Amino acid sequence: MAVPSGEITQILAQMRAGDPEAASRLAPLVYQELRRIAQRYMRFERRDHTLQATALVHEAYFQLLDQRKDWQNRSHFFAVAAQLMRRILVDYARARSAAKRGGSLDKVELDQLPAVSEPLPEKMLALDAALSRLAEWDARQSRIVELRFFGGLYEEDIAALLGVSVRTVKREWSMARAWLYREVGP
């Protein structure tokens, strides 16, 4: 069921105005879109990841409510949500990588190994590091990657959010993708 973006924007304005009931009206309207964003992020994680898309949605939503940001509109809200989900997963990957190497791993016979390797937290960390380097070089391109790739926003939404033309978003998205491909590979 598609929710008109105006309705979400209106509820966000009510939250800014201090309406205590607004957050409870917002949750059912944004849940499916937040879940879609979380599932996009989880595609890059290993299959046995202990953090599931639903838990990622809940964690991000509670952090969004704690922030009480002055969201401009629906696109701004989902952009902040996507950024929070990325941070949650990066923090999770860092914690996992910081654990003693091999300490919690089970011994597996060679013939029991899966034929396809699983994505590692290092891939998420490498992508995060590359996006951070890109942000130092061009903050807007980094933001466009985050909003487009992870947030799932369309070029028109990103252009409105960043205050640039759709053509600029398309050009910078293309350049940022090429740069990231060179930095971290396919």
- pLDDT tens per residue across span 49-105: 667 778 888 888 888 888 766 778 888 888 888 888 888 888 887 777 665 455 455
Q: Is 104 a domain residue?
A: no
Residue 132, domain extent: 5-98+120-184
Report how many domains make up the chain.
1
User: What amino acid is encoded at 45 in this protein?
Assistant: E
In our burial notation (b when 16+ CB lie closer than 10 A, e otherwise), range 125-160 reads bebbebbeebeeeeebbbbbbbbbbbbebebebbbb
pTM score over 0.95 = no
What one-character-per-residue DSSP string does 58-82 give? Answer: HHHHHHHHHHT----SHHHHHHHHH
Neighbours of 87 (CB within 10 A): 13
Token pair recorded at residue 155: 């070029």
